[in-house]
Amino acid sequence: MSTQTVDTSRPGTDPGRTAREDLGPVRAVPFTRLLRVELRKQADTRAGRWFLVLIAVVTVAILVTLLATGDGSRTFQDYFEGTVTPLQIFLPVLAIMAATSEWSQRTAMSTFTLEPRRGRVVAAKVLASLVLGATLLVVAAALAALTQLAAVLVRGAEADWTVTGWVVGGAVIALTVFLLQGSAFGLALLNTPAAIVAFFALPTALSVVSALIESWRDTMSWIDINQTTVPFFTGSAPTGEQWAQFAVSMAVWVVLPMAIGVWRVLHREVK
């Protein structure tokens, strides 16, 4: 079998050998490594990279518009709030794609043969989306600060750098929830278009229906995630009832689909 014939099929330097070398002792795959790999996988594809570029472009466009319009009285907080909206819309899609692309692109085959404990991969994936979200929020805040600086220097705006705790806290909580919801929908449906459509259309459809049917309105204020997350964008602390409503809607839109999704990924046959 081990003929030393020189091969002509544009082979490697040593076609009969498989490049044996000492790669060191075999150690278990630590979770931090899975996390790092999952983070990398969100940005190493063409789709992922362009998506990040898109988020950056939209954010900058919003900031420039805010800077150039109005009477120049905007504060750092106004700019910061402006950057949260694109993140709120786009970050969940990133989380959805991270969860679904393993199946639509069939990379799950390679992923799960390198780490058969699928639960760890799912956890790393969800956490990676949160880490990426946090990073982008910090970048957005930095861009908002630069814009404020420009406003002060160029437009002679007042150097108002005050930010209420609840503006930041609310943004962090809301973004976390939407990211988790994106991951949950992605894992539950394992299909990119279906998950994106469901993510945006289902809660909105529910809002529309509840607006039409009077008797549902009370119930919906507990279930409709579009309503229950509103207090987090007001800049002040939510009331006790608002927290309770938020928790109930979380159970419906995040916990339930996440449970379904994790179960599916753990049990699904990888083809």
Q: Which is nearer to another protein, 36 or 264 (CB)?
A: 36
Nearest CB to another protein, comparing residues 99 and 144 = 99
Tokens of 35: 């996390």
Structure tokens at 40: 């990398």
Q: Which of 37/140 has CB closer to another protein?
A: 37
Residue 155: Cβ-neighbour burial (10 angstroms; 0-12, 13-18, 19+): middle
245 vs 228: CA distance, rounded Å: 6
What whole-number distance in Å separates Cα of residue 161 and Cα of residue 151? 12
Smallest separation (angstroms) from another protein to the CB of 113: 4
User: Cβ of residue 88: shortest distance to another protein, in angstroms?
Assistant: 25
Q: How far apart are CB 45 and another protein at their closest, in Å? A: 4
Least distance from another protein to the Cβ atom of residue 38, Å: 10
Where does this chain bind another protein (CB under 8 A)?
Answer: 1-3, 5, 7-21, 23, 26-29, 33-34, 36-37, 40-41, 44-48, 101, 105-107, 109-117, 267, 269-271
Dist. CA 27–CA 216, nearest whole Å: 56
120 within 8 A of 114, measured Cβ to Cβ = no
Nearest approach, Cβ of residue 268 and another protein (Å): 10
Q: Please state, in angstroms and as integers, the Cα–Cα distance from residue 188 to each residue in 38, 78, 103, 174, 260, following that order.
A: 18, 36, 12, 21, 6
Q: Is the Cβ of residue 22 or residue 71 nearer to another protein in the bound state?
A: 22
Name the DSSP class of 251: I
Q: Which lies closer to another protein via its Cβ, residue 42 or residue 148?
A: 42
When the beta carbons of 38 and 81 are compared against another protein, the nearer one is: 38
For the record, the structure tokens of 5 come out as 């014939």
> Please, what is the minimum distance in Å from the beta carbon of residue 182 to another protein?
19
CA atoms lying within 13 Å on the CB side of residue 37: 15
In the 8-state DSSP scheme, what is residue 71?
A: T
